[in-house]
Structure 1
Amino acid sequence: MAPQRNQQDLGDQRAIGDGIGWNQWCKERLNWTIERWGMVIFSDVSNFEVSNRKSRVLVKRLKKEKYDTIFVVATLQSGGGSAGILGCIRSKGAGCCRIYEGRIHQPTRKR
């Protein structure tokens, strides 16, 4: 039988970055049982730029080397793009992992 999930057992479902420090977060959960930790799902979101348009590249060369292919840096006119990955882990191992086109914005956390 799956453990019952309720607000009291899980504490409030806030992220550590939402105004609570690591130290306080850990102290609040210091005496949790293995069963209680089994109800926790840790998740993370990462965004990756396919083409880094924000960095400038400086190439030093002599005038006669201007169009030599070893000194040319390829660029994309449309600017490239980005991809996001969302994953989670729980007590029974890795959970879902999804790759998304475009950026993933941090979800609004419900309290």
Structure 2
Amino acid sequence: MHLSSLTFDPLGAVAIDCTATTTLGDMRRRVNRVATLDGGAAFNDFGYSEADRTIRLRWTPKSPEHEAQIARLLRLYARLHLATSQGVWIVAPEAYIPGAQQSQLTLLSVEKLTED
């Protein structure tokens, strides 16, 4: 996975070797069910949106410098590019949890830039 700033920044790109526990978020429709008085149900379906995904990257830390580069992106940028094998997204970084054995970065999908 590759994470980078939207604007030019010589230090604004980092490659992350994610573990198998990384998730690119659930694919869900914006649908809900409301019980009706006749014992049935009414469904409201507002379609599918990439913006409903929560992406969780997990990796084994390589070095303090690598972790500092990821933390820097989170501190400086409200939006980032995320490139994966499944496409390229604009994401909003929500949380970075550094760890000795495993680090985690939670990203909220804003928009998917590529088609499947």
Q: TM-score, normalised by structure 1?
A: 0.30
TM-score by length of 2: 0.29
Structure with the larger strand share: 2
1 or 2 for the larger relative contact order (CA 8 Å, sep ≥6)? 1
